A = this chain, B = another copy of it.
């Protein structure tokens, strides 16, 4: 059974992206954090995206700017296997990307039962809340950034029932980021 992990940075008020799509507020330079995040991102796995996060990613990582600013991450992101879930996209042009237009829950349930590397979700609030409701997410890795932004998108928006979690790890970084790891927990 392949594991599905979510990794997102959030503002102190719980948003992974500003209302206007900006994520620059999450940039919080610190060597210890940078090393941790880079190592964490290199975990073997297929990345799953919703359409909005996919479009944000594909508009940046394949560009010359990305290759100049962050060559290792760009190469890694471009080469990595990716899946985007969308009923409106006609095709996925980013290299090594599969477009899935079927039912999200059925597709992920099927993917989990196949053999292969684990599945990793970044951003993609819409698919996270649907998958969490269906009990298909095995781990949440959430980095709380020391900033409140007032409005934005939550990865849990649209949950149809409360999601009880069990804290399995916490780690504090000198830039003030707090990394929290949770597994789903039975309702109290």
Contact = CB atoms under 8 A, between A and B. Distances in A.
A12 to B, nearest CB: 7
A159 B149 CA distance: 7
Contacts of A163: 147-150
Contacts of A166: 146, 176
Contacts of A185: 146
A150 B159 contact: yes
Interface in A103-157: 129, 132, 140, 142, 144, 146-151, 154-157
Contacts of A155: 13
A144 B176 contact: no
Contact of A167 (B15, B132, B160, B178): B178
A94 interface: no
A23 to B, nearest CB: 13
A159 B13 CA distance: 11
Contacts of A147: 162-165
Contacts of A140: 12
Contact of A13 (B156, B170, B176): B156
Contacts of A162: 25, 147-150
A92 B88 CA distance: 54
A158 interface: yes
Given A14-B154, A146-B165, A170 B178 contact: yes
A68 to B, nearest CB: 23
